Structures are given as C-alpha cells and as structure tokens.
Amino acid sequence: MKRIGLLIFTTLIATIAFSQRPSKEQMEADRKRLTEAMQKLNEKTSKMDPKVKKGYDSLLNQYGVGQKMDNAIKQVNEGGPTKSGGVANGLIPAKDTKAIAGIAATPSRVNMGAFIGNTGNTTFAAVLPVAKNKANNIYKDLQQKGASIDEMGNAAAALWVGGRTQIALSLMAQVCKDDANNTDNLNNYAAMLTMTGAPEMAIPLLNNLNGQFKKNSTILNNLGQAWFALGDVDQAKKYLDTTLALAASHSQANQTMCLIAQGNGNKTVAIAAAKTAFKQGYSGTRADLLKNLGYIPGIGDYNNFPLANKNDDLLNLGGFAMPAFPKSVAECKAMDPIWKQFRADIDQRLKALQKTSDASKEQMLNQLEQQKKQFMDVMNKTLANPGSVSQSEAMKIVAAPMYAKKMNAKENVVLQNLQQKKQAAAQSIKEYMNGEGGALKKKYDDAMVVINKKMADVGEGGNTTLDMICRESVKASDAFLKPYNTKLEGLYNDYLAADKQLLNEMAYSSLYTTYPKLLPGINAGLQAQWLKDLSLTQNGGFNFANILKYDCVDDAEGKGGRLTQFKDPNCSINSEFGSSKLGFTMTLTCSGLTTTVNAGVISGTLNQDLDHAGFGDSFKNCTVSIGPKVSAGGKLGPLQASVSAGVGADIEIDRTGVTDVVVAGGVEAAAGVGPAGASAGMEGRMSLNSGSGSLNGTGIFK
C-alpha cells in the first residue's frame, strides 16, 4: 500500500505540470511546488530498502510514469504561459480601453427585454454547442415540471456551483429572456458574464440594478469586479470600497482589494484584506495569497464553521467502566476472576473491531488503486490534448473532504493540547510508581522479609504457626495494597479521563477530515484503543498490585466492570438546498457539498469544463449566497453575502471547485432544521458574488 501511495504522490508531481496552462505567476508557484515535491519524493526513495526501491522503479516503468515525470519537469522548468493575459503588473489586468468604450448605455426597465435578447444571443454564440443543447433540455424539463422563473434561475445557480458553468450561463440567459425584470436572475446573469470573460456586457445590467437598489453589497461588489476585470482600478476601487463600507467582511471584495493593494506595493493593507477574505471563507487560493505575502494563517485566522465539538462523549466511552483495583488480599482474590473475565470479553470485542479495521484498510487500498488509474487517465488525456483537464478535475482525484484543511488547522491545536494532557497523566503514574508508590512497595518488601524470617520458628519446638505467619502477611499486604492501589487507581482514572477526551475529539475531527466510507475503520481503531486502556493491556507496562498467595482471608465482594455498546459519531451537518422535485439539489454534510442534477436531464459524465482548454485559467472566484425567500427581498435587491448578519449559507468557489461553505443561524440551521435547510435553495434565493481570478485566461467570450 505504501508503494501505491508513493506512486500517487509521484504522479501528482507530473499532474502539476499538465493539469492546466498557468499564468506567469502560477508558473512560478508551480516551480516552487515542484521543487518541494521532488525533495519529498527524494527523501522517501532514499530511505527505501534496495529491494523495495527496485520494485518501485519497476512499477513506475510499468505505467510509464518515469518518462511522463521527466516531461512534466521539463515543461514546468522551461514552459511559460501560453497567453500573456494582458496583465499590467502581474496582479491587475491591463486597462481594456476598447471593451470599456464599447460598454452599452444602461437599459431602462422598458427596454431591458431587448437588451437581454441581444446579450442572450451573444451568450448562445459563445458557449459550446453541447452546453447550449444541454441547457435547452434542462429548460424544457423545468417548464414541464411547472418550475417558476425564480426556481429556474436557482437551478442555473446550482449548475454553476456544480461546475457546469457554460450550461449554467446558457440556462440563465434563457431564463432572463423570459423575465427581463427578475432582479435576482439579472444579478446572477451579470456575475456569470463577468466570470466568463464579458464584464463589459455585465456592467449595463448591474448599473440598472444599482439604480434600483443603492446600497446592495452584492450588486456593488459585482460592479467592482467587472471594472477590475476591465483593468479600470479606479472605478473598481470605488465600488469595492462602498461594498466594504456596507459589508466589511465581504470575501470577494476583500480579496480583490488585496490584489489592488499588492499591485500598488502596500503590503500591510494587502495582508489585512487577504486575512479578512480568508476568515470569511477558506480557499487554497487565499491561503496561497497570504503565503506569497509572507503571512502563514494561524488558528485564529479561520472562521468558526464548522463549530467546535460540544459533545464530550461522541463514542459513548463513558458507558464503559473497568473493574475496581483491589484494596486488600481478600479483594484481590475476589477480583481476580472478575478481571480475567473482563479481559476475555474485551478480547472478543477487539477481534470484531479488528475485522472492521481490516475491511477499512482494504477500502483504502482500493481507493488508492482507483486514484492511481485516474491519475494515469488524466496524464494521458493532458498529453494528448494539453489544457483539456481543468485543475479542479485533476485535484478532485486526491482531494480531501472540503473542511479537512480548515479543521486540521483548528483541531491540531486542540488535539495537541489533549495529547499533552494524556502524556502528563501517564507521567504522573510513572512518577508515582518511581516515587511514592515505589517507597510503599519497598516498605512492604522489607516487612515481608522480616515476616518470612519467622518461618524458621515454625514446627516442632517453635512458637510460630503457618496460620500466624499467613495472617501477619495478609495484614502487611493489606497495609500496602490499600494506599498503593487507591492512589494508582485515581491516577489511572485521570489518565482514562484524558484519553477519553482525546479519542472523542479525534472521532469528531475525523468526521470532517475523512471520507464517510473510511470512518468505520477509524472509529474501530479508537474504540479498540479504549478497550485496551480499560483492560490495562497496553498502558506502558504498569498494573495494579495483585496479591493472591494467601488463603487465610475471609470472602469479599468485588466491584465488576461494565461493557456496553459504542456509538458511531454522526455528522450533525445535514443541510439540503434545492428541490429534488425539479432534479437539482445541493447537500451539505461534514464531507462537503454535493450537487446532484437529474440524471435524465444532464449526463453524469459531462466534464466540469466541457473539455474547454484554458477553463482553469479563466475561471474567477465567486461566492454563492443562499437564504430563505422573504417578502423584503424585492425591496432590498439580490441576497447579500456575509451570512453572519442573518441566516443562510455562503458557498466559496475557486478554480479547484467548492472550497468552503459557511452556514449561519446556529446549530439548527447547520442540521437542516432552520432557514438554511429546506426553505433555501430552489424554494429560497441564491445570489452570485463574482470575484477576481487568474489573469491568464480570456474566458469563452474572447
């Protein structure tokens, strides 16, 4: 399994070069990533056993990875961006005076229909025919199901979230043609136009909306992003400043303001803006942005969703209890069969857990094999048609659950503290046994030496009997057992309490950092560790004192242990946005956001980028805000981002796909009970907040 994992790591190096056509800045980042990856690979291979290394090399040659790695390294080291992208300083687009001069006048409500008609025709001509046809099929299907204009618009937004950008754009164009005055749809259509390379077509629409809704942060942000895409920084900054005056934590506005500040050489302002964007919604793009500015995000830089663990016993470890430590010889004799049976019962439980663990390992092995095959398919595809595979498609092969990066950053500190607490408890036991406990043991041993010398007086002519020595030995043993085992039991219970916290927190963390099908194996391992701790079979080599050799004792009762059933932790996040009736749903769980589209309407094999070369270069970041449908919406304009102000959810998207979902409204909302659940999505409202992205691509309109 290690060889397969290393092979996947190796092919990832090649994928770095082949997965996209990057900008100049991205190429420099790729070179750095390649250097780091090669160093890690060399470290791994240098430590291999010679026989294993030979088998590894053979495996590389078998799949042709070696040559492809050489080609990849050559491309990264020697290649450059295929298009200049018209950048002014590597951060801000050059001013597109021709496009700016061609911006149409702001349409009125009366002639909005004609404007949308012309814009729609341009859209249909720009998208790939397959995307236009799919969008038309979806449109007809939604009509047959009686979908409203709002629901059709939200279906287009859901397609966008799912990465079907050209289909989403085509559907939204058709929906806006049907109703040219639906403000939510007009905003989303304008945002899509900007993000696919036509900001000059988006601005007239947004100007109209801005005239109707003067202080709507979504509209203002989208205007700022459109002007930024055209290279007019002054105009962009005007709208983005106003956006931030209304919504200081707006992620997309802050991210673009970071680029503007960085382009102007103001590193302090750039870092502050990037940190705010990062806090509002995590993405690898923002993490890299901060890293390039010399700032490494800490635990306090992440937002607080998902929430911290508030259940102190997810696994029900507290339902188990070990038998008592004996405090006298009589109790030792009474407790001995109880402890033996307790450990025998645990052994049977451990065998069942081991089967679960083995099955999970087998699943992991199969997953690694599938990833290996998928990597080879991606590499072969990019070799045949460079640029045909988006970074999103390539990264999804090995991508961890959506919240993994964020939760690892936050949970690592918690887990380290709990691990230290457990280690401190173990150290206290060790110090006791070497100190106070050791002194008690020596005192007992010395007393027994004196008692055992009396054996010489047993027999004919002596005044000492075996019964007398036995009872004196029991008295000395009881005097030792009570203080020794009482203190040790208390210390070990402290150790168990610390371990209980650690194991439960590890179970909670795994909900967000591991795919569901692998969780049973992880939970089985945690449960097995608890059982071993209770049986004292793996606790660093110590055990309670147990004296059984004396028979001159009265019967005693022993306090037995308790074995019950473990609980398997379940994800408390279960929000569904959308309408299964219409065939569009987005389901949020601890693993991430899953977008489901009716298989009868759209092919499940259709690639996110429709095999459009350069998609990854031209894709812009965006935030999709979801909220309940309220009557005030018509007066306030499109739904606004930064859900901390109310209830709903913000979905963060960059070129790798969905990177974060932040749900507001409390635990009930996260569990799908509150307004962010079934009342949102198709039955609620969805708004797109466009953002900046790579400067290398030109979008589908160019």
Least confident of 9-18, 412-421, 615-624: 9-18
Q: Which residues pair with 663 in a beta bridge?
A: 649
Q: CA of 588: how far to CAs of 323, 431, 507, 549, in Å?
A: 43, 48, 19, 62
Residue the block writes with tokens 């659940």: 677
Contact 579, 151 (CB under 8 A): yes
Distance CA 217, CA 215 (A): 6
Distance CA 53, CA 193 (A): 52
Q: Check pLDDT > 50 for residue 291.
A: yes
How do residues 68-112 score in pLDDT, each as one tens digit?
444 444 444 444 433 333 445 568 889 999 999 999 999 998 999
pLDDT given at position 618: 44
How do residues 557-602 score in pLDDT, each as one tens digit?
888 899 999 998 988 887 777 777 777 788 888 888 887 776 455 5
Q: CA of 140: how far to CAs of 116, 133, 434, 601, in Å?
A: 20, 11, 80, 10
pLDDT given at position 628: 74
Mean pLDDT score, 346-373:
86
Q: Which of 461, 462, 441 is nearest to 453 (CA)?
A: 462
Q: Check pLDDT > 90 for residue 701.
A: no
pLDDT given at position 699: 66
pLDDT given at position 458: 84
Residue 548, helix vs strand vs coil: coil
Mean pLDDT score, 421-431:
95
> pLDDT band for position 669 (50/70/90)?
very low
Of residues 519 and 12, the one with the higher pLDDT is 519
Of residues 5 and 338, the one with the higher pLDDT is 338
Question: How deeply is 443 buried, as exposed, middle or buried, from its count of CB atoms within 10 A (0-12, 13-18, 19+)?
Answer: middle
* Single-letter amino acid code for the residue at 634: G
Mean pLDDT score, 111-115:
93
pLDDT given at position 574: 79
Tokens representing 691 are 């953002």
Tokens representing 100 are 């700016």
Contact 382, 389 (CB under 8 A): yes
Q: Check pLDDT > 60 for residue 677.
A: no
Which H helix or E strand runs over 664? strand 657-664
How do residues 608-656 score in pLDDT, each as one tens digit?
333 333 333 345 688 888 877 654 444 668 888 764 445 678 888 887 7
Least confident of 67-76, 180-189, 283-292: 67-76
pLDDT given at position 12: 45
Query: Could you tell me what percent of the chain has a pLDDT over 70?
Result: 75
pLDDT given at position 77: 46
